[in-house]
Structure 1
């Protein structure tokens, strides 16, 4: 996972200002951390040690978004990091609420709003 991300960043020749990944995409969070690139991670796999370790060393602005009902989201790890965190109560790995379509749309609004605010804060 990290190799294609590194290649894409290298191809951008310094123009890469933000990395955004979902779920298994967070396996590449070490690349963003090592290159000091801001990142937004939706449903990062916080239960994998090297993902959590990379997020601990990330110094660039970082946004983590996860749901409390997601089996790969670890609220304790997320809270222990110095990053911006949005934890959506009862949301699963798809950032949806079980049997609640309208509530899931509200979650999507919340996620998009937080992403918009985060990107805006970067001055991109």
Structure 2
């Protein structure tokens, strides 16, 4: 496992390195609840099964940028309850709502690396 990385929550072989984690002070009166940044490393054989990330309150948004894409596997699959896919720019950049969209990573045949930036907003 690369230095500073920890096993991912799904326990399926991927590893995360959190380089940014901020909880926004409520006294500032903003809708922003917080934001985070992760590097996500997927060694060969790792994957993430389909899931939705639960949040206690608010709306969760995320942008993922694929830095290394394996030649085979490691496909990001993401769709809402109506089956509509998330916004993407090719196979490299994705914008989605992890609290409302089912998302997964197919089995990686070789290494994959993703820069993931997320933020949560208070409900209106």
The TM-score with structure 1 as length reference comes to 0.29
The structure with the largest strand share of the pair is 2
| Structure exhibiting the larger radius of gyration computed from Cα positions | 2
The structure with the largest helix share of the pair is 1
